[in-house]
Structure 1
């Protein structure tokens, strides 16, 4: 029960924080306008580019599934985290931007994706190839998104977009490296034991 409540709380916090960071990063909103031209505006833009990316939302569901430990519970908490994040994101958007919502559409997409990604997160704990592939899901997904849809596509390169790209590529490489090192160390331990 604790992991279920935690997934709802973490998801809601992530969704609300993503919406707030988006508002702070925009010079066109009430929250972001006063920050225009400051270091805080640049930091908010980098955070916005990182948090509002598909791979970051996928990482939320995978992380909650990993924390749950079992495939069934991981699937449940992955879906709950994405549903809570979506709800909090759009409620915060409505409060901050007075924006309309596409919440139901994203809930419909988030439910099956959250179930799958939560189960993947739980599978990270498994030894062997299954655990390796599960652990590579987020780093590879982030790298693919960087190629297909990099931060701030169709925009002029800015320091914020370059920094966001460097952070994502570095984190992807480190995450993939961790997954491969973990795979080989558990394989060596199994053959030695």
Structure 2
């Protein structure tokens, strides 16, 4: 039950923060206008490019699944976190920027993706190839998104865009490296045990 409440709370926080950061980073939004041209607007733009990305929302469901521990709980908490984040995002958007909503469409997409990604998160705890593939999901997904759909809202590269891309690529490399290292270390430990038992 605690993990369900946690998933709900984290999802609400993630969705609301994403909407607020988007509003703060936009010179056309009421919240963002006073910050235009300041370091705060640039920081908000970098954060917006990071949290308002598909891989980031996927990472939310995966992280909640990992915290849940089991595949069933992971699926439920992953879906709950994405649903809560979606609702919080659009409710906050309505207040901070008066934006319209296609919340229902995203909820329809979020539930099955949340279930699957929650299971992936729980599977990270598994040893061997299953754990390796699960742990590579977010880093590889982030890298693929960076190639196919990089965070470039306009044609010119700005320092905020470059910084956001560097952060994502760095995190993807470190995440993949950690997953591979963990897999290799488990294999080495298993081989050592086999040698001791056979010797």
Matches within 5 A, 1:72-83: 72-83=72-83
Aligned twin of 2:40 = 40
Could you tell me which runs of 5 or more consecutive residues in structure 2 were left unpaired when the two chains were aligned: 194-199
| 1:75-105 per-position Cα deviation (integer Å, ceiling 9, x unaligned) | 0000000000000000000000111111111
Matches within 5 A, 1:144-163: 144-163=144-163
| 1:100-155 per-position Cα deviation (integer Å, ceiling 9, x unaligned) | 11111100000000000000000000000000000000000000000000012542
1:140 aligns with 2:140: yes
Aligned twin of 1:21 = 21
Aligned twin of 1:55 = 55
**Rounded Cα–Cα distance in structure 2 between residues aligned with 1:154 and 1:147:** 16
**Rounded Cα–Cα distance in structure 1 between residues aligned with 2:154 and 2:190:** 49
Instruction: Name the SS of the counterpart of 1:100 in structure 2.
Output: coil
Q: Structure 2-normalised TM-score? A: 0.96
Aligned length: 193
**Rounded Cα–Cα distance in structure 1 between residues aligned with 2:59 and 2:20:** 19
* Aligned CA-pair RMSD: 0.7
Instruction: Name the SS of the counterpart of 1:73 in structure 2.
Output: helix
Larger Rg: 2
Q: Which runs of 4+ in 1 moved over 2 A?
A: none
Aligned twin of 1:176 = 176
Q: Structure 1-normalised TM-score? A: 0.99
Aligned twin of 1:68 = 68
**Rounded Cα–Cα distance in structure 2 between residues aligned with 1:161 and 1:170:** 14
Could you tell me which runs of 5 or more consecutive residues in structure 1 were left unpaired when the two chains were aligned: none
